[in-house]
Structure 1
């Protein structure tokens, strides 16, 4: 049995290693354009971002959510870029282009960024009934040529078996639907809530969704782990929908990347925009922060946030924003996909900091 001192040393070592890893990690600023994902029942990478985006360095993930832990270790950008799991040029030949065992990573798309999604194990599963709703968020309002929802056949166990095409049965097809006709029209995108049902199912399974976006030959592939036998999952409300602009926080809580959750109840804003900083996680020698940008009474096209610190700025890495530093001031400007914010709505960017968190003086300006 490990002695207490040894356990304490190991935990400290893990935290230190993680802090060092993320201090040098070049976190991508996000996908070139906002796309989407299955937000309920949450896909593997969206679920990992949603649960752990605000504290992805926390070593407790290794025991509480080991499949997400291995995914974060393999490539954090798979979660930061939860809305970019797609392939181009498939031409409808999904079963030919995507090999068995690689369905959850879209055939090792994006140079293998999402490969950890294929790893077999006990992924967190959403409890649902035999009648349920699949909710697809489209942050760029691409619309759909079609959406196909599959469920794994009875007897398939995602905890022990890699997913193959022969494991799936098609249960729902949504035909060509422009973004303007999707179920929910949100300030940061659109959402399609797809009712589906199976009969006599219980236990673990997987829901597999293919979304053929309409703007290009761009196909998205999502694996959602479920446990039949729970209560029917409700459709996510507008206030909990993701937004490719709130990284570690989808209910205003994970995409740096990018990604998630517009606020519909922000306090009044004086001027074109306002910004607030929150420390979402701390560890010895560093911390993670998030800055929320809220538009005023009019929609904005671009924004700029200035953070003035009492001393040397502690920020080392950031996502969802472009940073420049001059003296004790850091200026953050929007990236291509999160500059436009509807009146009263919010987006955010995240960052890693060194040392002890300090509170800067924050100002926000925007173009309308």
Structure 2
């Protein structure tokens, strides 16, 4: 969406006016994949995207945004990348993006923004060039099919000759598969993503048929073309009646009566069980589309409040991917198994400290184990009075070590571990809680340590 809002608006001014189910065989499923109209994980559990876009290619230093987006309830982040139209995001940078998504328990939709407005914007790349970019990144994307979706090209055709979308998108999908990509693919509509001439609506079958793995999801971007409830519902009805997989890959909010009806977009997505990804976290040329100010999750704009805290918003409707809840093991690891430690009699081993008055408690829980590694979560709860910050400490007894952490700053000195709150989860009201998690290494025994909690 960035850098082309006025062109998309011009599209509005120029505007004058048998079910087929794709089910990929379960035996062929690799990571996230399409089943009928749904996106499902490798274990068969349905996953519904609830997230937003982050303009990483222009703000690559804002890596804290991943944790901040997660802290507000998102289960997905759509990450803006460039292969060279802007400062290119290298393989190492993209690998770090994927790592940040995983650390923060987010599904990562990676999109190449270079294609935005091709045919109308002379600087735009073709979809074929976008595929070449993905091929250059293949070494860091292969094996991540449980965690990432490849959005081949953002808004790949403008308003000039949108009919070329069908053949260009078909060829891009086929080239991705010919080069060994097994990921869930996402394809955007033409007309700057808004499909106001209905090219995607009328030709989606051809595009879906082009994928030999039947693992492509269609994406509509909803801005001012979709400024009424009827325009939104009729468009979504067309895809639902055909049994086609669809997500609302971008949308804005109704700041005036001529803008997109965001309340209907979210309500319809929730009622139909389809995903939505709002645009965008921060950094827009048009700041009305920023969800936060100064990159601070505690400074939500009107748009931020609507999408995160609204009735059909992210906080109320997002469900974390099961891969982060023990549903599927990390890559190259056996399935997590319930702990057999005797440190606690509970089915999921945990230990809770006793709180000082006005202080805090900390509960350590194992959420998954496999040979050589484990995942754990610590819940911090304020006592009888509000706190402004917290520090949790523990000592491993069996040589364990923290390897990755999210939602806390974690440091280690030998077997002693210290976890401190980050900027967005230190202030807790009386009795309120927050959690942080981490991955760890272990050698056999993995007893649950006692955790101390100190409030400030």
TM-score (norm 2): 0.37
* Larger RCO (alpha carbons 8 Å, 6+ apart): 1
TM-score (norm 1): 0.45
